[in-house]
Amino acid sequence: MKHTRWFLIFLALIGVLAGCAKNDEPTASVTGQQVVEEAPDNAIEISIIYAPESDLYLPEAIEAFNESYRNGINPLTGQPLADGEQPIFVSGRSGSSGTVAQGIINAFIAPNNQNVEQPVIFAPSVSHWLALVNYESGRQVFDLTDARATALAPVVMAIWESRLQAIRDTVGYDDIGWEELLDVLNSPNGWQDYGISGRRTVYYGHTDPFISSTALSTLIAEFYASARSNGFTGRRLTLDQVNSPDVQNGVRSIEQLIRHYSQRTTEFKEYIAQGPDYLDFVALEENDLIYINQGLTEYRPPERLVALYPKEGTFWHEHPFGIVNGSWVTAEQQAAAQIFTDYILTEAVQQQVMESGFRPANPDVTLGYPFVTENGVTVEGPTNVLDVPDPEVIVSVQQSWSFVKKQADIWLVIDVSGSMESDGKLEQAKQAALAFLDNMESSNRVGLAVFSTNVEILVPINTFESNEASLRQAIQSLEPQEITELYGAVVEIVNLITESDDEDRIRAVVLLSDGADTGERGISLNDATSAISASRDSLNPVIVIPVAYGADADIRALNSIARASNTRVQSGDPANIQTVLQIISSYF
């Protein structure tokens, strides 16, 4: 960071000197608490949408780039702008790579879709997305040979050091991968057979491969690992392997390690920091693992996470700058985008990239801190790098997701007590429950229970395809009743779930309530949390996700219920219903 600051100070000092003779300083408009700088009148304006992890360094780099031009200085040369040389102004924001990629595809083939993106530069975590945009749109939106890497990060399995050492001590060698992780899952006593007391089951997590770059690379790597175990010896995965029932079953076996999914790596980065009781390992970019070990997450990790570079191979994420070939991008903007890319690859900016936990893409920058053993990584990185499959193979891998992923049993549990009548809380909960069903996968199983004085099963659990009509009808007809037997409802539903022997499915409760228990059955909050905790030794522990309704919601009680299954209370505010539903749905 020290080198970057001196570079920015240098630019600022030159800018002050050069700006003394200039009277065309731009103004700034204020929106809420955010100051939005306006472009100079004659600037070439370009926009960039980048992967969320680039938020660690790109906003500062964009600001310095714009400030240099604003002060009449070329940021690449440090010299005043020549006569006729136009300034460049960059506006940028982050967005999940898969969602943005689909938005760009839509801009070409479905411009009236609600998700349309038209940036000048798209900078996803990995070039998979650029190839997919070309393939899905039927156009060469990106020249892949010209999409330069700007920050490097291999995808790793972030695993607790004690877990990895236990595996190595048991098998007697250091080169670990999917094969050994599956052996833990299939061992009669799980972790206990590896010298770790307590929980026997393996907890793994990754994100949605339609949204997250890490998840897409991880899923492709799982197909590679399964194909190799089924005799595949080629360099590049093909459709034959992806469509093979044996290979798909192998991937499904890996996915059985999943405790739950999440939509984005951002959430898992916070979740796993809670420690081994939450997850044993999770797929992350190497920079995310460094971020956790540096203590920058909400939870400070209780021990060190280490990067497991799977022996079967992994991918490098190169954070490429793809310049769009679209009707909304002029030749002038494309040239300006190349200049901005050059700037990001300067040694000063690449030093900042490295300090943010990414390996520099500029080979002139020597790899240094934070790439040290203390942060759980190796200087060498992965020894086996997988070939990127052809776009149609990547699409096939994505399309296989609903088939190979771990399916879920989900109980919607809705509070219909008298207290839910006030402030429209029950109506809000009903709307949320109905909206939650809108994107439910047909192969998940969903049931509906309500509670006031007692728990009542309105729709027994069955496949969503079979239950959808009954679920919607029952939810729409809900009316407020009497007292709130919240704790009793949690105990009954959790016990009902744990009686099931379907160990190959995620088991979850989505609890919609104001949390104000007024029950008369003598069941305490401790009884409710104990019932949840008792399921932790099963292959699929019960996950309870409380959604709190009303300003008077008993957040303390709902938070205790959430903590017992390592989830978080969500606010049932109607204004953020879509955000809440995205978070909840991402668990499955």
pLDDT at 22: 35
**Residue 73 DSSP code:** B
pLDDT at 502: 59
pLDDT at 20: 36
Report how far residue 396's alpha carbon sits from residue 220's, in angstroms, rounded to the nearest whole number: 10
3-state secondary structure of 378: coil
The alpha carbon of 149 is separated from its chain's Cα centroid by a whole number of angstroms, namely 21
Q: For the chain, what is the mean pLDDT?
A: 87
Strands 445-451 and 455-463, how do they pair? antiparallel
Is-contact 327 180, C-beta < 8 A? no
Instruction: Kindly give the parts of the chain with pLDDT less than 70.
Output: 1-36, 263-268, 501-503, 537-539, 577-578, 581-583, 586
pLDDT at 499: 81
pLDDT at 4: 41
Alpha carbon of 216 to those of 192, 390, 396, 402, 405: distances in Å? 32, 14, 11, 13, 13
Burial class (CB in 10 A: 0-12, 13-18, 19+), 16: exposed
Tokens standing for 509? 């409760």
DSSP calls for 99-134: HHHHHHHHHHH-TTSS-----SEEE-SSTHHHHHHH
Report how far residue 350's alpha carbon sits from residue 190's, in angstroms, rounded to the nearest whole number: 43
Tokens standing for 527? 């009884």
User: In terms of DSSP H, where are the helices of 148-285?
Assistant: 161-171, 178-186, 213-229, 239-242, 245-255, 265-271
CA angle 409–412–414, rounded 5-degree value: 160
DSSP calls for 386-450: PPPPPHHHHHHHHHTHHHHSPPEEEEEEEE-SGGGGGGGHHHHHHHHHHHHHHT--TTSEEEEEE
Write out pLDDT tens, residues 165-176.
Answer: 999 999 999 999
